Chain A
Amino acid sequence: MSILIDRTTRVLVQGITGYQGEFHTAQMREFGTQVVAGTTPGKGGQRVGGVPVFETIAEAIHETGANASCSFVPARGAADAALEAIDAGLNPVVIITEGLPVHDALRIVRYAQENAVRVVGPNCPGLTSPGQSKIGIMPNHLFKEGSVGVVSRSGTLTYEIVAGLTARGIGQTTALGLGGDPVIGTNFTDALRLFQEDPQTAAIVLIGEIGGSAEEDAAHFITAHVTKPVVGYIAGRTAPPGKRMGHAGAVISGSEGTAGAKVEALRAAGVRVATLPGEVPKLVAEVL
């Protein structure tokens, strides 16, 4: 099985006529995702690789039964696009867009909470459930069906670790990219809860990085609620304080957000924390 999406998920791509939207629509369909509709303002009535394009999400749902969103809408229009998707009841709403103003993210997250809609992102690679469905931009060929849940704040580092797992014959239930921004719709704690409840998931890989306290919060949650084995890795041990390391959320501010504190918190919660990303598959093999 998988978390959040499966074979029955009917995806609507927001910003489907753009370069990224069109390319990744094709990639998602190749992976087996049912992409049933797209939206781009002013381009209703067109088709992208056979997928019908609509002006509004309400129309798209009426015509196609879409029930989830994947948004590539550029930052200036991304907040409106996400609020429309939440308002229309699509669930989950996966926001790939990077560069969203944080006050926009705050409104999106709040509106999603009020409407009980799961938002993933912004600034994330989406989520992939091998054999089921994929929403987002993770490369198709890396994955293999299996029993490990992967959750991460980083894109490429997730690919690196998933590829390592697959090379060792260890498959995945779902790989979930949370996004690199300070305010995101789904955090580690949410993901851990979903993986803990998913009967197919036997072990969890948590890939964190410097900035904020989401990994420390995850450690508390693991201690209290997670019975499945968790393997961790934290990027940014050598990052200097005060510098944004690529991601808007990857910054050590004051004494908060250091890799050392995160590693310590996770270890105290019984998580096996790898020093290098290459060690993760070995540690997972040991706990499976």
Chain B
Amino acid sequence: MKLHEFQAKDLFRAYAIPVQNGVVIERVGELDRITLPYPLVLKAQVLVGGRGKAGGIKLAKTPAEAQGHAQAILGMSIKGEIVRRLLVAEAVDIAGEYYLAFIVDRASRALAAIASAAGGIDIEEVARTTPEKIAKAVIDPFLGFRPFHARELGRRLGLAGTLLNDFVTIATALYRLCEREDAELTEINPLAVVNGRLLAVDAKVIIDDNAVFRHQDLPKNEEMTELERAARSEGLSYVELDGDIAIIGNGAGLVMSTLDMVAHFGGRPANFLDVGGGATDQNMRQAIDIVVRKPGVRVLFVNIFGGITRCDDIARGIAANPPRLPMVVRLTGTNEDEGRRILKEAGFDAFVDPETAAQRAVALVGNQ
């Protein structure tokens, strides 16, 4: 779960990481109550990236300018996300920009500190073009990221004196935040030099979805569509795509390969729904309800390989909630015969071979 910048900065303050003074507003009228000195920077609070390029970050030297910018940004759409909140913060004079992050490094199976003196720009781009400008330190979770680690990392960026001391304080605090709040990413870009001190001008925090249960105090953000939310509340894994063939399967890998098969035979998947292991007939009924609600869906393709999931349970779910659009079912594995019998009674046939079934689903779209 990604946090908004203002939420991440609230966390930063709680961990004593220096950030600019700022206020979050939802209406233009709230600007009147802001007592911060001008110039101010107005930043759209959206979860998608690239808000600066989209016109979501503006500098205002006067209250009139702030009014104009706030009017323009509040309510605008950035990559499909409507801006509902603005962070209004003191503008700062930036003399240098660093990068600092803690990430889960999948390859080394450890948390890693990543830092660079080339901050302020896309770090992936830096890593690609000038990897020598990136310093990385892999962290032992039992030892933690200690001040001496931070000092070594800071030296590799060429930092010294007050800036190095600031870096050590900020980096160890950011590590503590990452570990205690169960973040899979904490990032400061830029970590800026302002009046000879380091300041977190931007803030990015992504909380591990699997750990949300132990952080009930954190804000809840929804990047999901309505159907994605409905699926999650039922314990189903759902992703929205832009085609016309709705897809239900069991197991993430199998569903992904089902999308690939449909695309391979010329079809366009509308969504991805994984009913998971051991799905009940009730889960299957809900799954059908969710995928067919997506506008533009013309065919439903169900691909089940029964393991823990039983084919008879799946068939019962389908029979209890037959979709009102053409459907292709592939059913094989545990209790397959009983599953077929139930489907037959409900007036449906099932394929055994997934590729034949995928071709049939694609053909059905063409027939309409």
Contact = CB atoms under 8 A, between A and B. Distances in A.
Interface of A: 75-76, 99-104, 106-107, 109-111, 137-139, 152-160, 163, 180, 182-184, 187, 207, 209-210, 212-214, 217, 233, 235-240, 243-250, 254-255, 275-278
Contacts of B213: 75-76
Ranked 4 nearest A-B pairs via Cβ: A154-B253, A246-B252, A156-B251, A157-B253
B237 to A, nearest CB: 4
Secondary structure dominating the interface of A: loop
Interface stretch (B105-113, B149-157, B162-170, B317-325): B105-113
B109 A99 contact: no
Nearest to B261: A276
Interface string B215-254: 0000000000000000000000101010000000111111
B211 A155 contact: no
A157 B208 contact: no
Contacts of B106: 182-183, 212-214, 249
Given A110-B110, A159-B307, 18 more contacts: A75-B210, A76-B213, A102-B104, A103-B141, A106-B110, A107-B141, A109-B109, A209-B256, A213-B107, A236-B256, A236-B257, A236-B260, A243-B239, A244-B239, A245-B255, A245-B256, A246-B239, A276-B264
B319 to A, nearest CB: 22
Secondary structure dominating the interface of B: mixed
A139 B274 CA distance: 19
B286 interface: no
A106 B252 contact: no
14 contacts: A102-B210, A107-B142, A159-B333, A183-B104, A184-B109, A209-B252, A209-B253, A217-B107, A238-B241, A240-B239, A244-B239, A245-B272, A246-B256, A249-B106
Contacts of B260: 235-238, 276
Contacts of B262: 238
A237 B284 CA distance: 26
A106 B257 CA distance: 29
B179 A103 contact: yes
B252 A240 contact: no
B308 A139 contact: yes
Interface string B94-124: 0000000000101101110000000000001
Q: For chain B, which range describes its interface: under 10, 10 to 19, 20 to 34, or 35 or more residues?
A: 35 or more
Given A101-B182, A278-B355, A106 B111 contact: yes
B350 to A, nearest CB: 16
A206 B128 CA distance: 28
A152 to B, nearest CB: 7
A228 to B, nearest CB: 23
Interface string B300-313: 00000111100000
B259 A239 contact: yes
Nearest to A19: B278
Contacts of B269: 238
Contact of B253 (A100, A102, A109, A247): A247
Nearest to B273: A246
Contacts of A138: 307
Interface of B: 104, 106-107, 109-111, 124, 128, 140-142, 179, 182, 184, 208-211, 213-214, 237, 239, 241, 249-257, 259-264, 269, 272, 274, 277, 305-308, 332-334, 353-355
A229 B199 CA distance: 54
A183 B269 CA distance: 29
A110 B141 contact: yes
Contacts, number: 167
Contact of B353 (A184, A239, A278): A278
Contact of B141 (A106, A187, A254): A106
B46 to A, nearest CB: 14
Nearest to A184: B109
Contacts of B251: 154-157, 246
B208 A159 contact: no
A160 B256 contact: no
A106 B104 contact: yes
Nearest to A107: B141
Contacts of B237: 244, 246
Contacts of B308: 137, 139
A139 B307 contact: yes
A154 B251 CA distance: 7
Contacts of B252: 154, 180, 209, 245-247, 250
A238 B209 contact: no
B239 A180 contact: no
B256 A102 contact: no
A243 B256 CA distance: 12
Contacts of A214: 106-107
A163 B241 CA distance: 30
A154 B254 contact: yes
A96 B272 CA distance: 24
Given A101-B211, A248-B210, A278-B353, A207 B184 contact: no
Nearest to B49: A242
A215 B264 CA distance: 22
Contact of A101 (B110, B208, B257): B208
B54 to A, nearest CB: 16
